[in-house]
Structure formats: structure tokens, C-alpha cells
Amino acid sequence: MAATRVLTAAAATTQPTSCFLSKRAFLLPAKTSSLALSFNRRPLVLKSKRPFSCSAIYNPQTKVQEEGQSETLDYRVFFLDGGSGKKVSPWHDIPLTLGDGVFNFIVEIPKESKAKMEVATDEDYTPIKQDTKKGKLRYYPYNINWNYGLLPQTWEDPSQANPEVEGAFGDNDPVDVVEIGEAQRKIGEVLKIKPLAALAMIDEGELDWKIVAISLDDPKAHLVNDVDDVEKHFPGTLTAIRDWFRDYKIPDGKPANRFGLGDKPANKDYALKIIHETNESWAKLVKRSVDAGDLSLF
């Protein structure tokens, strides 16, 4: 029998809103920021062989259902609507922004662990699974020291070159988040975060943004609002993050990753720009304005 956990997600005042790819209503925060979700514009009718909904759920409780045994090829962590119990996609159905510069963050890899977990972007409902290579489960060579995961409703478009980062193309994944708070979180946990900085990692020629953020419930969250605050209250952390992601492939005989933007972290405003741009790319993806390839939009 599949195990089901209930994780309390971010809570906020909500109002019904309609989604451009769905006839059914979904909920978004009543307040919106300058980074208003780009999908919230007009209805769009999509012809598809199967029903598809990009509607964002907003339920104070998100159920997480584990199927299979952890650290096996069959292990999956599915997300369930807290009301109906139906499967939903953590990538497509959980809203990105909560307003006032606050965003949802989905934990894939808890800090101080090394199983390489990720949202399965090519599977229905995009559950979290352990990454594989040549049929074998993947692990980092050493523990990651921060909570790691994704921003929902973002996508790094592999057809778009970024002129500010050596013309590198997107890596075809949601945007990654490195959450620097003190608590070790659980796989599938949904946290309210505020972005603080951005690192432009180049992995085998692909652009793989790392948004550095902190959960709002962390004891030091009120102290940090931008990149300089991170250096002040978490000294050495930004350098440690950069070095960790630069070097983690070296033990496997691969070259080190590189970083654009002068090898330095960009500030909060730049991080917000990246989030906004990749949300717009995601909107084009789910509208089928660009080729989805093998990606699941379900």
C-alpha cells in the first residue's frame, strides 16, 4: 500500500481565478506582485488526445503519496490535491508566486543527503523520483549541504540562448533553488521562500540557474533580503554553493562546471528577473507555443 504524508503548504488569502488551459477554476493569492504569472491572461482552448489542465491548485494541505521503496528504480513521490485526493503535478499545478516577493519552492533533495532526486518532467503528473544513468540510481559523491529543489511553473527553454551568459541555452528543466535555512526538509515539502541571489551555472554548455533563497519560517529569514545580507549573516555560503556545484562531477571523471556573470552571484533583482523570464517560458510551453518534446504537460 502506498504511504501518504500530508505536508502543510504555504497559506495565504485566496480568490478563484480561471486558467488559460482549463475550464475548471483554481485558486491564486488575492495579492499579486509585479511578477504576476504570465499565464493569467486569457482563455485558450487546447485540442489534445487526453485531458490536460495547467490549473494551479492552492490548498493549505498538499498530500504527498510515496509509491515503491525509496532508493529503488520504482520509487515515486506523487502530489495529491488536498481536497479531492487526485494526482496533480508539482511542476504545473502548484502556483509559482504568492505575491509580495514570496514564491513556492518544492523540495526534491533534503540537505545533508546525496540521493539525486528530481521531478520526472517526462512522466504523467511529474512525480519526484531518483535520477538514473544507464539504468542505475544516481547519487552525488557527497552530501549536499542545503535543501534543493525547484520553482514550479518555470522552465529553462533549450531553444533560447542567453546573451548575458555566454549565449548558453536553457537546460530544459524547471529552475533550481538552493534553500539555505537551518532545517532539513522532507522530499515533497512545499515551502514559502524569498529569493536572495542567483548563480548562472553552465553545465556541459547548458545554462542551469541556481536561485539562492531562504524559507520564510527560518529564524534568520528576517535578516536577509539580498545578496549582501547573505554574505553578512551566512558568511561563506555563496562561495560554498558555487564551489559545490562546480566540483561535484569531478569525482566521476568529468570536468568542473563553470559559472557565468563573472563567476559571481547576481543580486535579488536579477534573480527575480530570471524567475519572471522562466515563468514566461513555462507559459509558452504549456500553451504549446514551443515544442514540448518528451516533456509531460499533464
* CA end-to-end span of the chain: 24
Residue 281 CA: distances (Å) to CA of 25, 63, 220, 239:
23, 28, 32, 29
Cell numbers that stand for 114 in this block: 546525496
For this structure, is 148 an active site residue?
A: no
How far apart are alpha carbons 18 and 26 in whole angstroms? 6
Give the residue from 156, 171, 173, 160 showing the smallest Cα distance to 205. Answer: 171
Cell 515563468, residue located = 279
How many C-beta neighbours within 10 Å does residue 50 have? 6
Q: Write down the catalytic residue from 75, 140, 142, 248.
A: 140
Burial status of residue 267 (CB atoms within 10 A of its CB: 0-12, 13-18, 19 or more) = middle
Backbone angles phi, psi at 61, to 5 degrees: -120, 125
Burial status of residue 180 (CB atoms within 10 A of its CB: 0-12, 13-18, 19 or more) = buried
Instruction: Decide: 113 and 143 in contact? Cβ < 8 Å.
Output: yes
Residues labelled as active-site residues: 140
